[in-house]
Amino acid sequence: MNILFAGTPEFAVPSLRTLIEAGHTVVAVYTQPDRPRGRGRKLRHSEVKQAALELGLPVRQPEKFAGEDELQRISDDQVDILVVVAYGQILPIGVLQQPRFGAVNVHASLLPRWRGAAPIQRALLSGDDETGITLMQMEAGLDTGPMLLQRSCVIEPDDSTGTLQRRLARLGADCLIEGLSLMAKGPFNAVTQSESGVTYAHKISKSEANIDWDAPSAVIDRQIRAFNPIPGAFSHLSGERIKILACELTNVVSPDQPGILVEVGPSRLGISTADTDIRVTEIQPAGGKPMAVKDFLNARELIVGAQLSQNPGS
């Protein structure tokens, strides 16, 4: 097939590479414009743009995927299908209907559960046991289109957004190739999404990553895993903002109020919650890099009884 591809983050890269490996012709790659990123705020390519350049593919980066000029450009491309994987813009219906087979989207959930921008994080925050990939035909509504294929994926107890995203990206690429193969063979019946069980994966806000130590340990654990690597679940200790990137659950119930250091060193950092303690295993100090707790403690003198809080001045 002759394909237009639209995607931006790392999640979309396996789908792009797999299309090429499967022998499809990618006429052009649409991705978000270069943005300032990182600590130096330098202009950087998206991960999809970097992959497209490595593959020798034409790259297009319109600020908005709309307007008569862009529609005419797509019409001139004479492509069979538009493949969208985490592109980051809502596409107008005129764009979706332009290719011969319309547009398909690789979405990281088992629709209709978790329609929207942050399906992986929302699945982890909610304690879901499984998630998956839905390959769907795109229409005007947000992730409401008929489903071509679904493939499920177990959420492991220690999964973070980072680990789960990598597995789903690979699964999504495989699902995409399978779906395109079925479409090429002839008429293919898509399944209309049920109106029962619809949930929305609203965009993550940084304030959601601020740990509430009055919550149960299982809720805090899910929060830590859902926000690893970005934006990182955080708290404040002795006025310093720290990100907690990984932890272990324990059966220990401390008499202390929530948010107290109940165990310190040499390689352990235990914190009380509303029920059982958690033990931090990976942490990131303000302005620093992620590190093991042992390395974090080597550079600080912390004592049992210190208080963590949601506010820097507390």
What's the rounded Cα separation, in Å, for the pair 128 and 150?
17
Work out the pLDDT band at 50, boundaries 50, 70, 90. Answer: very high
Report whether pLDDT(313) > 70: no
Same-domain pairing of 286 and 154: no
Domain-terminating residue out of 168, 201, 234: 201
Flag whether 314 is in a domain. no
What is the distance in angstroms between the CA of the first residue and the CA of the last residue of the chain? 59
Lowest-confidence pick of 3-7, 36-40, 220-224: 36-40
- Given a cut of 90, whether residue 64 has pLDDT beyond it is no
pLDDT digits (tens, 9 = 90+) for 252-263: 998 889 999 999
The pLDDT-based confidence of 299 (bands split at 50, 70, 90) is: confident
The lowest-confidence range among 14-18, 68-72, 171-175 is 68-72
What is the mean predicted confidence (pLDDT) over 156-172?
98
- 27 and 173, same domain (yes or no): yes
* pLDDT > 90 in the chain, percent: 83
- 9 and 154 share a domain? yes
Whether pLDDT at 39 is above 80: no
Residue 311 has pLDDT above 70, yes or no: yes
**Of 226, 99, 98, whose CA–CA distance to 158 is shortest?**
226
Residue 144 lies in a domain: yes
User: What DSSP element (H or E) covers 123?
Assistant: helix 119-125
Which residue, 174, 201, 228, sits at the end of a domain?
A: 201
Domain range spanning residue 59?
2-201
The answer to whether 297 and 265 are in contact (CB under 8 A) is yes
For residues 231 and 187, state if they share a domain.
no
- Quick check: 225 pLDDT over 80? yes
Please check whether residues 125 and 242 belong to one and the same domain: no
- 291 shares a domain with 225: yes
pLDDT at 277: 98
> Using 50, 70 and 90 to split pLDDT, how confident is the model at 314?
low
The answer to whether residues 278 and 270 touch, using CB atoms and an 8 Å cutoff, is: yes
**Digit-coded pLDDT (tens) for 188-203:** 889 999 999 999 999 9
Token pair 């830590």 is found at 224
Percentage of residues in the chain having pLDDT higher than 70: 99
Together in a domain, 76 and 99: yes
Provide mean pLDDT across the span 218-244: 97
Q: Are 133 and 166 in contact (CB under 8 A)?
A: no
Q: Do both 7 and 138 map to the same domain?
A: yes
The domain that holds 112 is classified in CATH as 3.40.50.170
Same domain, 253 and 157: no
Please tell me the predicted confidence (pLDDT) of residue 189.
87
**Are residues 142 and 156 located together in one domain of the fold?**
yes
CATH number at residue 251: 3.10.25.10
pLDDT at 67 over 90: no
pTM here is 0.94
Cβ burial, residue 257 (10 Å; 0-12/13-18/19+): exposed
Clarify whether residues 191 and 210 are in a common domain: no
Span 286-304, mean pLDDT?
93
Q: Which helix (H) or strand (E) holds 104?
A: strand 103-107
Considering its fold, how many domains does the chain have in total? Answer: 2
Q: Residue 266: pLDDT band by 50, 70, 90 thresholds?
A: confident
Q: Which residue has the higher pLDDT, 39 or 288?
A: 288
Instruction: Extract the tokens encoding 145.
Output: 């289109």
Q: What is the mean pLDDT of residues 106-113?
A: 99
Please indicate, yes or no, if residue 285 is contained in any of the structural domains: yes
Q: Domain ends where: 156, 173, 201?
A: 201
Q: Which pLDDT does position 69 carry in this prediction?
A: 80
**pLDDT value of position 15:** 99
